[in-house]
Amino acid sequence: MTSARPVSQDKRKKVLKVIFVSLLLDLISFTFILPLFPKLLEFYRNLETAQGSSNSILNRIFIGLNAYKQSFSRPISDRYDIVLLGGALGSLFSFLQAIASPFIGSLSDKYGRRTALLWSMAGNIASVALWVAATDFRTFLASRVVGGLSEGNVQLATAMAADVSDEKQRGATMALVGACFSIAFTFGPALGAALANVETVAANPFATAAGFSLFLIVVETVYLYFYLPETLPASQPKSFANGSQSKTSNSAQKHTRTNSHLLLNLTHFVFILFFSGMEFSFPFMTYDLFAYSSSQSGKLLGFIGLIASILQGSVTRRLHPLRVVQVGVVACAASFFLLGRLTTEAGLWGAASLLAVTTATVVTGLNSLSSFEAKEGERGGKLGNHRSWALLPSGQMGRSCGPLLFCTLYWWAGRDVAYAVGGAGMLGVCALVFGGLKAPPKSLPQATG
């Protein structure tokens, strides 16, 4: 009686529509801040310098960053202080996500996706509200901490998408989630930069962008409250009363795994470790080689997002998830070696095209593979651990360590060595993907039976 019943096509369409709209709102709001970091942090530095706050949190951070810079053999201009601080804040956000993701996923398995997501949205609202009110760096830092600890939207959207999709539909469904990322990263940063030019509050020049971001998050929360049904299989979240019945039913329906979560998490971690480092160093490289301005770099990133969106809508959703990952890691390894050698803008745009292939495939495919290995009642927790590992030791720890380690190598040994090491790391990921991972039988189209 507790076995999960197939989801009707009407309910599946409704849930996927809600996931797509809400995730798009969430990610556009999330990406507003990305192009604003340098000016935003410069504003707080100038503010605290003018106030003579020598013992403030921000000043103590800059003292530490200057000490860190002295360890590089190649001198780093003071203009990179803001960039390094932005990277440190990004790492902090990812680290906190890594801590929170497994807990959010496990709670969604126990009490329901809808409940967990609405609580996560409450934390997001608090985070962006703090940003609106951030007239000093301490308040802004608090907004990032609250945001990192409460950001569970992507992980829960992935779990819900898996809940309403059967094995044949899952690859296409994960591609839909991935397409939200590409669309948001194509338009969100540009919109955030435009709104930052509209000053409404003198004490916080970024209040307009923050206020619109808050508006999107509130709209998303209201939309989810009224339109999102519960998707957790076995009809309702587990209660203690029927816990024994659930156990017998689970053991009766033995779940066979094709890939261990340890191998999936290791693959995700190593990939994100190198890929996030490259992402963070990308603006440095375009500036060093071609003196790219922020708008030129934004145009290049928009190109990557646009190509990734097209690929996710046309190619990624039609391939089985293992093939998707294989294509992506090969493209990523090639882009690393090209980035280490290129001398022309044509080469740069060629490498960007390869990175678009990677963006459209690898994480989407790994999420899909992970969802195949989870039993119905543990999907949220497994996907939470999967995301956490890539940052911590599969999603967030790799993203926490990657930028710092890769930039250290970049400035110590130079572009050639950094990208050659990154390429070698990606070849290691290729070895894991081609030599270790297997395609779950149910993911293969028209599998022989």
Tell me what the mean pLDDT of segment 382-392 comes to.
Answer: 43
Tell me what the mean pLDDT of segment 22-42 comes to.
Answer: 86
Q: Which of 75-79, 141-145, 390-394, 415-419 has the highest mean pLDDT?
A: 141-145
- Read off the pLDDT band of 313 (50, 70, 90): confident
Sign of CA pseudo-dihedral 265, 232, 13, 185: negative
Q: Which amino acid is at 101?
A: S
- Read off the pLDDT band of 420 (50, 70, 90): very high
- Read off the pLDDT band of 74 (50, 70, 90): low
Sign of CA pseudo-dihedral 85, 75, 410, 294: positive
Higher-scoring residue by pLDDT: 175, 437: 437
Residue-wise pLDDT tens digits, 220-262: 999 999 999 988 875 444 444 444 444 444 444 555 677 787 8
Q: Is the pLDDT of residue 429 over 90?
A: yes
Residue-wise pLDDT tens digits, 2-23: 445 567 888 889 999 999 999 9
192-229: b (≥16 Cβ within 10 Å) or e: bbebbeeeeeeebbbbbbbbbbbebbbebbeebeeebe
Least confident of 28-42, 212-226, 418-432: 28-42
Q: How far apart are CA 139 and CA 187, in angstroms?
A: 27
Higher-scoring residue by pLDDT: 82, 415: 415
Q: How far apart are CA 16 and CA 188, in angstroms?
A: 21
Q: How many CA atoms lie within 13 A of 112 on its CB side?
A: 12
**What's the pLDDT at 294?**
61
Q: Is 1 exposed, middle or buried (0-12, 13-18, 19+ CB in 10 A)?
A: exposed
Least confident of 215-219, 237-241, 439-443: 237-241
**What's the pLDDT at 395?**
60
Tell me what the mean pLDDT of segment 371-390 comes to.
Answer: 52
Tell me what the mean pLDDT of segment 426-444 comes to.
Answer: 87
Q: pTM score, two decimals?
A: 0.75
Site of tokens 């309403």: 164
**What's the pLDDT at 155?**
82
Of 257, 248, 264, which Cα lies nearest the Cα of 374?
257
* Contact present, 276 and 391 (Cβ < 8 Å): no
**What's the pLDDT at 252?**
41
Q: Vertex 161, ends 434 and 325: CA angle to 5°?
A: 15
Tell me how long the chain is.
449
What is the C-alpha radius of gyration for the chain, rounded to an integer number of angstroms? 22
Tokens of 412: 């110590």
**What's the pLDDT at 386?**
46
Percent of the chain with pLDDT over 70: 81
**What's the pLDDT at 26?**
94
Of 352, 360, 335, 304, which Cα lies nearest the Cα of 425?
335
Least confident of 26-35, 58-67, 142-151: 58-67
How many whole angstroms from its chain centre is CA 62? 27
Tell me what the mean pLDDT of segment 205-210 comes to.
Answer: 93
Tell me what the mean pLDDT of segment 264-278 comes to.
Answer: 88
* Contact present, 3 and 248 (Cβ < 8 Å): no
Q: How far apart are CA 140 and CA 137, in angstroms?
A: 5
**What's the pLDDT at 443?**
61
